[in-house]
Chains A and B, each alone.
Chain A
Amino acid sequence: MDIAIVDARGWQNTLDLETGEKASVSGPAVEIVQGVLRRHPYPGDMDRGSNRWVSDTAIDLIEAYNPRFVFLTYAAQYFAGRYVPMTGEERSRMIADAFLEAQRFVDRTGFAAIAVGTGNMTPRKGAIDATAIDGLAICTHWSTRYAGLYDPSPADLALLRSHPHIESIVPREEVMTLFGGTPGQAARVPQYLMLAREGYTFKTAGVLMKTPVMIPSVNSAIPLYAPGRTVEAITGIRAILEEELAEKNVALIFMEGVGCDEFAWPFTPCRNGTRWWHYEPSEAQYLTISSGRHRFLDYPTGYKDFEEEDASKLYPFSGYFKAIPEDTFGSHFPGRSISVGNKSMFMHMVAGADISIECFARNLYNQGTMAVIHRQDKI
């Protein structure tokens, strides 16, 4: 059984990750995790101590579990940069702080770092209002550049195709040609995928009122810090991890919302997508890096996720994930592995590490922390 341990500050529960039912389990891994969660309450997505929480929690867990592979996400600068207006100087200082925090982790643990910036951010110029159309437009998962379009009338298509801030409208068939995939996966892909020009967001049903000041740029390439190594695309990062781990302990570090323009460590750029598709900082980007192949089709941007949100949906703590994804790096790595991050509640799905600890926040509301134990048998 995959176990979730949720710590809502002074209230810890052990549950079955798949069903959400309470589980009565014990053992050394459970005890380690319970202690780490108790010692490290999450300060909040927008708190200055948020990235420090990632390092501190990971260091504590490493001391207790002794893993060989660590998957880390530092995301405080992404949340703050997205919502808090700041000067260039303030932004530079914030990003420098994030790298200092990652460096502190590396210095303290001695792990060899391989670091990825998930992409540049750009000031938001405006929104493309796609609400008052005959069909239905949908944005999902904090996506700003892409939106799904369903049942558009000829008038909708004419209007949207002539919109100055829409770059293109791609029919489902073309998306499927790009990514391949099964008929089952095709059913989830929107009828059309709309692409906004850089700096513009889609405004569709379900978009949060908290309007961002900075949004992800159109990142055709993202920075990779991997001393002595280069890869052509993000799908090649997994092979580097495998090779490096043959010799040393490795930490794969994600610096969220930082691209080639602001990455503080020496890097080589690597392609962040395929042809016209470029990943936004998202679960799909993480999964692609973790598994070494494109994973757009697992939960495509702009799909009708609300239609799958019924009482029968499994994995209640895992957002829209309905199953544990296949081929994640952690799930294949035979040594011990952990992941720690403050991005959101999906690290345990995309990393596939034996033990994951992540913040339990919903739309920036701090509910506490959650750990997932996929493997108890390596202790």
Chain B
Amino acid sequence: MRCNYCERRCRIASGETGFCRMYTVSQGVITERFPHRWSACGTSRMEAFPFYHVFPGSRSLAIGTTSCNFRCRYCSNAYIAKEDPESQQERMYHLAPREVVAMAKKMSCRTIVFNVNEPTVSLPSLMDLAAEAKAAGIPMGCLTNGFMTAESTELMASIFSFFNVSLKGISKTFGREYIGASSLRPVLRNIERLAGIRHVEVTTPVIEGANDTEIDAIADFLGSVDPEIPWHVFRLLPEDEMRDRDYPSIEAIDAALRSARERLPYLYFHNFVGSDWVNTACPACGTVAIERFSLGCGGDKLNRVLGGEGQCPGCGRAIRLFTHSPHAGDEGAVRTWT
């Protein structure tokens, strides 16, 4: 049987598993192996994920599961994303959707964000959770590698109100050598689709000598989709199989971003302490509208929002912000897989 959750479209025999080891075939149906088991369940600031344009400064319940459908050579969560998920189950939180939502409420979280690994490998659990969260008025967001099928993209758009899609590169060579994916075109397709219907931010970790030459091509692509997409360019920390590499040069990446900055007003460069490129400036007049501070690796924080929320303090122009209830302007139902 074929699994159609992501573009690997694994063929799975009864009782076997696909590439991510998170689905099997049971009674002729693709089935999640470890439903409602979570590798994380704790609070985080919105800026730390990063979401710079979603409920600034708010607290979120950060959740995740295990495994991934990519095999990036520089994974920062390899101990969760690459290990056999079966071996990790004893350590997981066993929480029903009602209990996850209750946890979010007890800790006064404005949103729930799936951020540890790839949500595509746990979609049935996330559908259940979204139904419960939606009933409680809690919007959900996620970090994703964007490699899901078009059908899954629609499903995820019914689950999540906001996305941060990791666009790691564009070329076939980069996808093959660093990600273990034959093509990254589906990611581009899904960004285009999601940007039309949901709040989307994009993150690109830059590795010198690997994808730094693709910065302009990525910027062109994002500009063609929506020039106001917030784009987070990360200085990659040498981790996992690439831990012996040098730390990328901040000056060199900054220089490579110069032309992109002219086209994309919400371009940020961070993932290192004290970054100078984490504030939001008005696309029209350049006045700083939101000030942040970067502590590197998952430690960014809001300093202050200047002027009215979602408005430039200089000229009054709208600053893009997602501050809605779940799926504002949409019928709101979580789709079911067909």
Contacts and interface: CB of A to CB of B under 8 A. Distances in A.
Interface of A: 6, 8-11, 13, 15, 20, 22, 127, 129, 131-132, 135-136, 151, 203, 205-207, 209-211, 306-307, 309-311, 316-317, 360, 362-363, 365-368, 370
Given A131-B95, A206-B41, A366-B237, 6 more contacts: A131-B99, A131-B103, A206-B43, A309-B59, A311-B303, A317-B273
A55 B209 CA distance: 34
Contacts of A6: 273-274
Contacts of B249: 10
B10 interface: no
Contact of A211 (B91, B93, B95, B274): B91
Nearest to B99: A132
B301 A311 contact: yes
Interface stretch (B120-128, B255-263, B292-300): B292-300
B8 to A, nearest CB: 24
B20 interface: no
B79 A8 contact: no
A166 to B, nearest CB: 19
B40 A209 contact: yes
Interface in B58-97: 59, 76, 79-80, 88, 91, 93-95
A205 B61 CA distance: 10
Interface residues of B, number: 41
A367 B297 contact: yes
Nearest to A83: B79
Contact of A368 (B39, B79, B239, B273): B273
22 contacts: A8-B247, A8-B250, A10-B249, A10-B250, A10-B251, A22-B274, A127-B91, A129-B94, A136-B106, A205-B41, A205-B42, A209-B88, A211-B91, A306-B59, A309-B301, A311-B57, A317-B295, A362-B296, A363-B298, A365-B239, A367-B272, A367-B297
Contact of B274 (A11, A127, A203, A362): A11
B304 A311 contact: yes
A5 B249 CA distance: 19
Contact of B93 (A9, A20, A131, A368): A131
A368 B295 CA distance: 11
A367 B42 contact: no
B257 to A, nearest CB: 15
B76 A207 contact: no
B53 interface: no
B135 interface: no
Contact of B295 (A9, A22, A362): A362
Interface in B8-54: 39-43, 45
B302 interface: yes
Nearest to A368: B273
Nearest to B96: A132
A365 B296 CA distance: 10
